[in-house]
Amino acid sequence: MTDIENKDVEAIGEEVAKTKTAKKAPVKKKLKVKAVETVEKTQAETVNATPAPDPVVEEVMNQVQVVEKKKIMFVASEAAPFIATGGLAEVIGSLSKALAATGKYDVRVIIPMYSDIKQQYRQKFQFIGSIFIPLAWRNQYCGIFTYEADGVTYYFIDNEYYFKRPGCYGYYDDGERFAFFSRSVLEVLNFIKFYPEVLHCHDWQAALASIYLKTIYCYREEYQFTRSVFTIHNIEYQGKYSLDILEDLFGISNDYRYLLEYDNCINLMKAAIECSEKFSTVSLATPRRLRTLTMRTACRTSSVKIPSSSAVF
């Protein structure tokens, strides 16, 4: 080759060499270093950065823990403001409201639906259903009405045969009327799916609710944790009946005769005291009167202790 051709070849070789050199490490090193720095920076930011609060998680953490309220069912033959003949109604009306106002209790009250209940309230009652109540050989209709006020839920037991009469008491069949009412209470609890920790029964008219709980319903699983409290308002009326009608009228087996018998007759108040975990009075004079009554003999055969003063619920 001529000198010119040699020079051209050398020039081309130098250009190729420069091109190869330019394509080598420096560019790759820069990219690699940059990539490593980017990864390290991203990791550092991930470790050191404070994550933004998740509003859903924060809301859950700020929620107040809900504690289930204790359930109480008051069982009585009257309650203010619906119908009242004396102090019993006032106690039921005021005590239920006071307990509900604390926010710690789910308070409910159940009474018969008398025809004399004030119309201004009756027109607001809501019918929620009906069932049939077994009472000895009978199977009686029971309508269930409800009404809510001042944080208290009220239930009314409807049966016109028993309660569509003037007044509340003083009828020849009061024993049967309030036996039906008391048995209805236990059946209604199952209907509304409300099983209270405390079944608070008042006076002889509701005494059978405590008695039925311990003689019939205690064998049913859903009633296992229900405890009974019995309060005496008027000790002059104790629910005394002949022993001959224990099974036929009240539907209680003679196997439990020992619970109800006193002074050769049925005494519903005495039996309610025996069947309740606690009992109380609304007057300081009542416990003293209890000590002077011949009921002391019956109480000696049981675990019941007569208090020296009225118990506070």
pTM (2 d.p.): 0.74
Q: What is the pLDDT of residue 53?
A: 55
Q: Which residues contact 210 (CB under 8 A, 6 or more apart)?
A: 199, 201, 228, 230, 271, 272, 275, 276
Burial letters 16-49, b for 16+ CB under 10 A, else e: eeeeeeeeeeeeeeeeeeeeeeeeeeeeeeeeee
Query: Rounded mean pLDDT of 74-79?
Result: 98
Tell me what the mean pLDDT of segment 216-221 comes to: 94
Confidence of residue 3 (pLDDT cuts 50, 70, 90): low
What pLDDT score was predicted for residue 17? 55
- Residue bearing the bigger pLDDT, 102 or 8: 102
Closest to 81 (Cα-Cα) out of 68, 73, 90, 72: 90
Spatial distance between the Cα atoms of 121 and 134, rounded to a whole number of angstroms: 29
Tens of pLDDT, residues 149-206 = 999 999 999 999 999 999 999 999 999 999 999 999 999 999 999 999 999 999 999 9
Handedness of CA 168, 173, 175, 180 (dihedral sign): negative
The average pLDDT across 298-312 equals: 43
DSSP output for 88-135: HHHHHHHHHHHHHHTTSEEEEEEEE--TTS-HHHHTT-EEEEEEEEEE
Range in 1-15, 107-121, 296-310 the model is least confident about: 296-310
What CA–CA distance (Å, rounded) separates 96 from 109? Answer: 8
Mean pLDDT, rounded, of the chain: 83
| CA 268/CA 29 separation, integer angstroms | 101
For residue 8, the model assigns a pLDDT of 53
Cβ contact 117:123 at 8 Å: no
Give the contacts of 296 (CB within 8 A, at least 6 positions apart): 290, 306
Query: How many beta carbons lie within 10 A of that of residue 202, not counting itself?
Result: 29
Residue 200's SS3 state is strand
**pLDDT at residue 292 in the model:** 65
The mean pLDDT value for 78-98 works out to 96
H helices of the chain, in order, are 3-23, 25-48, 55-61, 87-101, 119-122, 160-163, 174-192, 203-215, 257-260, 268-275, 285-292, 295-300
| Angle of CA points 275, 205, 203, to nearest 5° | 65
Q: In terms of residues, how long is the chain? A: 313
Copy the structure tokens of residue 313: 């619920």
Q: Residue 33 has what pLDDT?
A: 44
Q: What is the mean pLDDT of residues 143-148?
A: 98
Which residue segments constitute the domains of the chain, with CATH numbers given? Answer: 70-300 (3.40.50.2000)
- pLDDT at position 306, please? 41
Which pLDDT value is given to residue 48? 56
Residue bearing the bigger pLDDT, 110 or 33:
110
Percent of the chain with pLDDT over 90: 67
The pLDDT value recorded for residue 67 is: 79
